[in-house]
């Protein structure tokens, strides 16, 4: 098990060298499929921070629904220099929005996270950071600043709202105003690693938030810092582990007793980085590794189970029965991010199709070397799996997925793991859906009883956005309420719901 993947097929990686070229004017490329598109609907750049009081609502918002739906995504602040114009879609600056829902009314606000990167570029009126997670390509003036974009996910814990990018510490935001409070939040200095996941988990029994960061001792380090934070924000446990090889660890799993890591062949590639490319390349010669360690320990007990070179990104749910762990993720047979270079073969759209996979490993079985694999719903494809967030770490029944139908249309899937059945909300061919988030019908509602909330983009209206709310008891009936936005909101990777009774400010 090596450390950093340094394999480099010269022909594949050779396109990134050359001297930086400055752009004189403020202009995004016409072809916005790469960085300029920011990964958003219709490959658009938004850049506009907006407020809209009392949005137009069609249908009936539940009068007792009281909370905030947050979302975040990459929205390029400035075009890259010509040399890096082909940067990947994930490298735009984090643009957050919130929909405040209360008494049947909806107010909207969007703001960029004022990261260290955003502030430096704002002052310079140009892009200063080069390729995705590649400090070798930065303008010398930003040396020492955090490269974090805060563009991936929102999370709320100990009364604080965080915007996160997995290459840097979280950025604290005011949950009511979306003003940036702290551009480098370190849990009182106890975040010993340099990085922080976009997908922490909250233990519903203890209230602890469990989190980790990979490449935690610097670029391409094989060190992972894992820790938990109590209800007050105090770090109450931490450990360091090492991974079999360095690659993307976008999400992780947590049970009541264990922490689970998945290392997949989207490997950190120093050859690529030194040539000015993005951070990762797909190395199909590598296996995947599923690591299991105990919470509360020092990390020396971690045990790695081997598997095929799948690419899995998001956890649907994880739990343990004694020392046997169950971990549901969405994943494909190969690279799901075609904008990262392939080292040895062409990217395969067929192999990239995501399924809901169940991985198992039994710590009591000393002879088990490979983790178990089950495709839970062979006929359903998709990505960005979610669950009722109140069921992190414990056995769960309902999972959710941004799915696609046979025609390529998007839909939201809801799985009943007990009956192994799936139900869908399909908006029709002229609408594309972003990832949804589950909203409990009320405090204490049964698991899965509530609403799915998320943004729909109307293709025939140049991507105009609606926020839709679907009742999980009646997915087929379509939205019970539609918040009709008069424009196209910024792009999104993830969203997060915070009920009003959790807000303390
Ligand atoms: Fe994610």
Burial 138-154 (b: 16+ CB within 10 A, else e): bbeebeebbbbbbbbbb
Residue 37 is classified by DSSP as: G
Give me ligand 1 centre to Cα 166, in Å. 9
Q: How far is the CA of 10 from the centre of ligand 1 (A)?
A: 31
Does residue 43 form part of some domain? no
**Residue 265 CB neighbour total at 10 angstroms:** 24
Structural element, H or E, at residue 422 = strand 421-425
Distance 177 CA to ligand 1 centre (A): 24
Name the nearest CA neighbour of 272 among 461, 88, 487, 476. Answer: 88
- Ligand 1 center to residue 480 CA distance, Å? 27
**β-bridge partners, 235:** 229
| DSSP letter for each residue of 442-485 | STTPPTT-EEEEEEEEEGGGTTEEEEEEEETT-GGG-EEEEEE-
Answer whether residue 396 is part of any domain: yes
CB 241 within 8 A of CB 249: no
Task: Flag whether 175 is in a domain.
Answer: yes
User: Ligand 1 centroid vs 451 CA: distance in angstroms?
Assistant: 21
Q: How many domains is the chain partitioned into structurally?
A: 1
Residue 327 lies in a domain: yes
497 - beta bridge partners?
69
Q: What is the DSSP string of 247-277?
A: B-----EEBSSEEEEEE-SEEEBHHHHHTT-
Helix (H) or strand (E) holding 117: helix 116-124
- Paired sense of beta strands 421-425 and 410-416, if any: antiparallel
Rounded to the nearest angstrom, the distance between the alpha carbon of 138 and the centre of ligand 1 is 25
* 319 CA from centroid of ligand 1 (Å): 19
φ, ψ dihedrals at 229, nearest 5°: -130, 130
Å from CA of 175 to ligand 1 middle: 20
Ligand 1 geometric centre to CA of 137 (Å): 25
384 touches 401 (CB < 8 A)? yes
Is residue 360 in some structural domain? yes
Q: Is residue 30 a part of any domain in this protein?
A: no
Quote the ligand 1 centre to 58 CA distance (angstroms).
Answer: 30
- CA of 356 relative to ligand 1 center, distance in Å: 15
Q: How many residues does the chain have?
A: 505
Instruction: Report pTM.
Output: 0.93
Q: Which two tokens stand for residue 322?
A: 């004694």
Give the pLDDT confidence score for residue 308 in this predicted structure. 97
Domain presence at residue 42: no
Token duo for residue 79: 């075009």
Distance 364 CA to ligand 1 centre (A): 31
Which residues have a Cβ under 8 Å from the Cβ of 465 and sit 6 or more positions away?
A: 41, 455, 456, 457, 458, 485, 487, 488, 489
Q: Residues near 189 by Cβ (< 8 Å), separated by ≥ 6?
A: none
Q: Is residue 147 part of a domain?
A: yes
* Per-residue pLDDT, 22: 52
Q: Provide the CATH number for the domain around residue 329.
A: 2.120.10.30
Measured in Å, residue 200 CA sits from the centre of ligand 1 at: 10
b/e per residue 390-410 (b: at least 16 CB within 10 A): ebbbbbbbbbbbbbbeeeebb
Q: How far apart are the first and last CA of the chain?
A: 48
Cβ atoms of residues 284 and 265 within 8 Å? yes
Residue ranges of the chain whose pLDDT lies below 70: 1-25, 30-44, 504-505
Q: How far, in Å, is the centroid of ligand 1 from the Cα of 19?
A: 33
> Ligand 1 centre and the CA of 256: distance in Å?
22
Closest residue by Cα to residue 152 from 252, 74, 65 = 74
How many Å lie between the centroid of ligand 1 and the Cα of residue 198? 6
- Cα 168 to ligand 1 centre (Å): 15
Gap from CA of 60 to ligand 1 centroid (Å)? 31
Q: Are 331 and 312 in contact (CB under 8 A)?
A: yes
Ligand 1 centroid from CA 493, angstroms: 7
What is the three-class DSSP state of 190? coil
Ligand 1 centroid – CA 315 distance (Å): 9
Q: Give residue 90's domain range.
A: 10-14+50-502
The confidence score (pLDDT) of residue 17 equals: 46
Angle at 82 between CA 131 and CA 140, to 5 degrees: 55
Q: In the 8-state DSSP scheme, what is residue 91?
A: G
């Amino acid at each position: 098990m090596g450390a950093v993947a340094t394999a480099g097929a010269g022909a594949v990686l050779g396109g990134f060298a050359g001297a930086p070229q400055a752009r004189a004017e403020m202009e995004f490329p016409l072809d916005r499929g790469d960085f300029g598109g920011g990964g958003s609907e219709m490959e658009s750049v938004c850049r506009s921070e907006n407020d809209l009081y009392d949005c137009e609502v069609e249908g009936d918002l539940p009068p007792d629904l009281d909370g905030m739906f947050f979302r975040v995504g990459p929205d390029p602040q400035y075009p890259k220099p010509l040399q890096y114009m082909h940067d990947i879609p994930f490298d735009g600056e984090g643009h957050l929005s919130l929909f405040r829902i209360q008494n049947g009314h909806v107010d909207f606000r969007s703001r960029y996270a004022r990261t260290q990167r955003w502030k430096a570029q704002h002052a310079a009126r140009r892009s200063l950071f080069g390729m995705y997670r590649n400090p070798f390509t930065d303008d010398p003036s930003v040396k020492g600043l955090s490269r974090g974009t805060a563009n991936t996910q929102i999370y709320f814990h100990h009364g604080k709202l965080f915007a996160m990018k997995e290459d840097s510490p979280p950025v604290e935001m005011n949950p009511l105003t979306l003003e940036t409070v702290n551009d480098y939040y370190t849990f009182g200095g106890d975040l010993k690693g340099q990085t922080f996941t976009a997908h922490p988990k909250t233990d519903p029994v203890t209230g602890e938030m469990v989190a980790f960061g990979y490449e935690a001792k610097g670029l391409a380090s094989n060190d992972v810092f894992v820790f938990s934070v109590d209800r007050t924000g105090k770090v109450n446990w931490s450990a360091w582990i090492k991974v079999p090889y360095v690659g993307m660890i976008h999400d992780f799993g947590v049970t009541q007793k264990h922490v689970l890591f998945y290392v997949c062949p989207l490997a950190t590639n120093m050859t690529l980085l030194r040539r000015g490319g993005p951070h990762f390349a797909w190395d199909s010669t590598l296996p995947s590794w599923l690591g299991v360690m105990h919470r509360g320990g020092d990390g020396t007990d971690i045990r790695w189970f081997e598997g095929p070179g799948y690419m899995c990104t998001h956890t649907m749910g994880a739990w343990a029965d004694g020392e046997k762990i169950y971990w549901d993720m969405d994943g494909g047979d190969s690279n799901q991010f075609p904008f990262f270079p392939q080292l040895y073969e062409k990217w395969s759209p067929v192999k990239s199709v995501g399924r809901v996979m169940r991985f198992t490993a039994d710590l009591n079985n000393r002879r088990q070397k490979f983790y178990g694999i089950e495709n839970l719903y062979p006929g359903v494809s998709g990505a960005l799996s979610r669950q009722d967030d109140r069921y992190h770490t414990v056995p769960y029944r309902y999972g959710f997925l941004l799915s696609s139908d046979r025609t390529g249309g998007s839909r939201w899937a809801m799985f009943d793991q007990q009956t192994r059945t799936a139900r869908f909300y399909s908006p029709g061919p002229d609408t594309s859906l972003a990832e949804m988030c589950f909203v409990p019908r009320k405090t204490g509602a049964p698991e899965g009883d509530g609403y799915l909330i998320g943004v729909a983009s109307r293709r025939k209206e140049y991507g105009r956005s609606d926020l839709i709310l679907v009742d999980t008891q009646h997915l087929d009936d379509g939205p019970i309420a539609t918040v009709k936005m008069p424009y196209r909101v910024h792009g999104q990777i993830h969203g997060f719901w915070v009920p009003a009774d959790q807000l303390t400010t």
